[in-house]
Amino acid sequence: MVAVSLAGSMLAKHGDRYVVEPWLRSILAGKTIPAIALTEPGGGSDAANLAVRARRDGDDYVLDGEKTSTSFATQAGIAVVWARTGPPGSGAYGISAFLVPLDLPGITTTEFEDLGGRCAGRGSLYLDGVRVPASHLLGAENRGFVQVMQGFDYSRALIGLQCLAVARQSLDETWASAAERESFGKPLTAYQGVTFPLAEAETHIHACRLMCLHTLWLKDQGLPHTAEAAMCKWWGPKLAFEVVQNCLLINGHGAYTTEMPYEQRLRDVLGLQIGDGTAQIMKLVIARHKAARKGVAM
């Protein structure tokens, strides 16, 4: 859902209509999965420091280099790929974004054996002299980082909601199982040691969910929401992990097996503390935006 929304909105907003429309139809029909290829082996946090090259050659760009940690690497039909079109050291203003069909000659992919989120088949893309028509440029040349990356604000709120849904489900199931199971002659829900963590989780999930919805509302109003989206992205996955961990403990030894869903949920939401930017990077984003709005030096 997040990949489709994120890549789909980037194509719709920044692509040549005649190039992107067939892909968007295929994505919406559920026939094509899009991937986002930004991270490289050299690091993901400092994304503007990327090394994959794209050089103009006639009516094409020729792409060379390696992208890694790409969700759906082996399943996707297309990827949004960021590559350097400016000189080395040109930073965020020398990067362009491309729509790259993944069946083009020169592309190979591999898949990792991940701890969680296995359906997303994270892996690497190797680009070896891949010729992409110039019409597949998204946004303006050398402005792909600044223009196209804005879509990440939206996906950050969605990732928060995605993780909170996992926490919500775990919490609902745990209220029910705690009411059924007895110790010392009473249901577990008779003990505040059990219900207070659940009550705290109810409070935090409610607050974080409202924050995600408020962020999406700001987006709908056309109002700034970069800092708010970063708040959703660092808090949602972390909170979900903590809630699922508590639910696992309240469900006892049986929840520490693959017979129950909690171990898988823990592994799945843990990955989203990293994917789309870590908590440290989200806090940098929040601090920069708040400092700028308040005119405070950093």
Report in angstroms how near the CB of residue 275 gets to ligand FAD at its nearest: 3
Instruction: For strands 78-84 and 95-101, give the pairing.
Output: antiparallel
Cα–Cα–Cα angle for 236, 67, 55, rounded to 5 degrees: 130
Q: How far apart are CA 145 and CA 83, in angstroms?
A: 9
Cβ–Cβ < 8 Å for 286, 227? yes
Task: Kindly state whether residue 33 participates in binding ligand FAD, applying the rule CB under 6 A.
Answer: no
Please, what's the b/e burial string for 187-215 (b: 16 or more CB within 10 A of its CB; e: otherwise)? ebbeeeebbebbeebeebbeebbebbeeb
Stretch that binds ligand FAD, among 24-32, 36-44, 101-109, 178-186 (CB under 6 A): 36-44
Cα–Cα–Cα angle for 47, 96, 25, rounded to 5 degrees: 105
Task: Kindly state whether residue 122 participates in binding ligand FAD, applying the rule CB under 6 A.
Answer: yes
- Considering only residues 59 to 78 of the shown chain, the ones binding ligand FAD according to CB under 6 A are 69-71
Task: Kindly state whether residue 127 participates in binding ligand FAD, applying the rule CB under 6 A.
Answer: no
- Cβ atoms within 10 A of the Cβ of 19, count? 15
Q: How far apart are CA 73 and CA 3, in angstroms?
A: 12
Task: Rank residues 77 and 271 by Cβ distance to ligand FAD and give the closer one.
Answer: 271
Task: Rank residues 69 and 85 by Cβ distance to ligand FAD and give the closer one.
Answer: 69
By CB under 6 A, name the one of 86, 101, 117, 252 that touches ligand FAD: 117
Q: Give the residues across from 127 on adjacent strands.
A: 65, 107
Task: Kindly state whether residue 8 participates in binding ligand FAD, applying the rule CB under 6 A.
Answer: no
Task: Rank residues 107 and 134 by Cβ distance to ligand FAD and give the closer one.
Answer: 107
By three-state DSSP, how is residue 68 classified?
strand
Stretch that binds ligand FAD, among 128-136, 205-213, 272-280, 290-298 (CB under 6 A): 272-280
Cβ–Cβ < 8 Å for 162, 1? yes
Task: Kindly state whether residue 39 participates in binding ligand FAD, applying the rule CB under 6 A.
Answer: yes
Size of site (CB under 6 A) for ligand FAD: 20
Task: Rank residues 194 and 239 by Cβ distance to ligand FAD and give the closer one.
Answer: 239
Task: Kindly state whether residue 45 participates in binding ligand FAD, applying the rule CB under 6 A.
Answer: yes
Site string for ligand FAD, 221-260 (x = CB under 6 A): ----------------------------------------
Stretch that binds ligand FAD, among 30-38, 57-65, 124-132, 215-223 (CB under 6 A): 30-38
By CB under 6 A, name the one of 186, 280, 295, 297 that touches ligand FAD: 280
Task: Kindly state whether residue 44 participates in binding ligand FAD, applying the rule CB under 6 A.
Answer: yes
Which residue's structure tokens are 């408020």? 214
The backbone region for 277, taken as left when phi is positive above 0, alpha when psi lies in -120 to 50, beta otherwise, is left
Q: Give the residues across from 60 on adjacent strands.
A: 57, 133
The backbone region for 130, taken as left when phi is positive above 0, alpha when psi lies in -120 to 50, beta otherwise, is beta
Task: Rank residues 197 and 275 by Cβ distance to ligand FAD and give the closer one.
Answer: 275
Q: Which residue is nearest to ligand FAD (CB)?
A: 44
Residues forming the site for ligand FAD (CB under 6 A) = 36-39, 43-45, 69-71, 117, 122, 271, 274-278, 280-281
